[in-house]
Amino acid sequence: MKKIAIIGGTGLQSLPGFSPESEDYFNTPYGTPSAPLLQGTFAGKPVVFLARHGKAHSIPPHKINYRANIWALHSVGVREVLAVAAVGGIHRHMLAKHLVIPHQLIDYTWGREHTFFEENHVQHIDFTEPYTERLRQKLIHAASTLSFETHEQGVYGATQGPRLETAAEIERMAWDGCDIVGMTGMPEAALAREMGLEYACCAVVANAAAGRGDGIISMTEIEENLVNGMENVRQLLAAALQIL
Ligand code: HPA
């Protein structure tokens, strides 16, 4: 079994049931990761856990040091990453508390440090399929053993944040083919690919995206949905780890 990391997003600063055995504070050539890397066990399996927004959920999406996070995970030997993300639902079937295992993404972010390849020579990566299909299939299989709604594919639109989108922006994203919208999917997925890490995402729908629900988006609603949604994520991750 390859060493696996779980990157926890909004609503998952810590992973219930995870027993940390060590806490590593890191410095990388790109600065410090969002939080110490916690190495321990979850559902009986060895796991490294990293809180993407920091221990106290204090780092907004555009300020996250994605390069330091991915570098640090790679340097402790992680080769597979399961990334958890809160998202808004654009597709009319992707409702609050549902899980989505995206198969594609569109990047609308800007101004983020988004590559390790910026010096000395030109280097490109293939990114046709941004998520590792083998890991995606494991998540889908794990979800099939559980009773909550999980969508086996979806296009993740990554926006800059920290504000939510306008209704017109969401309408444009829907025309582009996006099914869900979040703020942290990029450059994380591309950096993982540059580092040679396998990477898949488990997205939790926290709210109907702007203009897709009734009226404005309430932060209380997001928080409430994430409490239930993250319990589903926890079960999904535990089941997936048994078959990875
Ligand atoms: N938009 C962007 N990111 C999000 C949303 C949203 O509606 N909900 C949770 N994360």
Please write the tens of the pLDDT for every residue from 176-186.
999 999 999 99
Query: pLDDT tens, 202-237?
Result: 999 999 999 999 999 999 999 999 998 999 999 999
CA 201 to ligand 1 centroid distance, Å: 15
3-state secondary structure of 239: helix
Q: Is the pLDDT of residue 117 over 90?
A: yes
Q: Is the pLDDT of residue 8 over 90?
A: yes
CA 89 to ligand 1 centroid distance, Å: 8
Say what the pLDDT of residue 119 is: 80
Atom of ligand 1 nearest to the CA of 164: 1
Q: Which amino acids bring their CB within 6 angstroms of ligand 1?
A: 86-88, 159, 164-165, 181-183, 206-207, 209
Residue among 62, 165, 186, 219 to mutate when testing ligand 1 (max atoms within 8 A of CB): 165
Top-tier CATH class for 3-116+123-241? alpha beta
90 neighbors 179 (Cβ within 8 angstroms): yes
| Closest residue CA from atom 3 of ligand 1 | 182
Q: 53 φ, ψ to 5°?
A: -95, 10
CA 109 to ligand 1 centroid distance, Å: 13
Say what the pLDDT of residue 82 is: 98
Q: Is the pLDDT of residue 33 over 90?
A: yes
Query: pLDDT tens, 68-92?
Result: 999 999 999 999 999 999 999 999 9
Q: Is the dihedral of CA 196, 158, 127, 96 positive or negative?
A: positive
Atom of ligand 1 nearest to the CA of 207: 8
Say what the pLDDT of residue 13 is: 79
List the helix and strand counts (H, then E) for the chain.
5, 11
| Closest residue CA from atom 6 of ligand 1 | 88
Q: Is the pLDDT of residue 167 over 90?
A: yes
Cβ burial of 181 (10 Å; 0-12, 13-18, 19+) is buried
> Any idea what DSSP says for residue 190?
H
CA 81 to ligand 1 centroid distance, Å: 21
How large a percentage of the chain has pLDDT more than 90? Answer: 91
Domain boundaries, the chain: 3-116+123-241
Of residues 94, 203, 172, 82, the one with CA closest to residue 135? 82
User: pTM for this structure?
Assistant: 0.97
Q: 213 φ, ψ to 5°?
A: -115, -160
Q: For the packed helices 219-243 and 133-144, what is the interaxial angle rounded to 10 degrees? A: 100
CA 99 to ligand 1 centroid distance, Å: 14
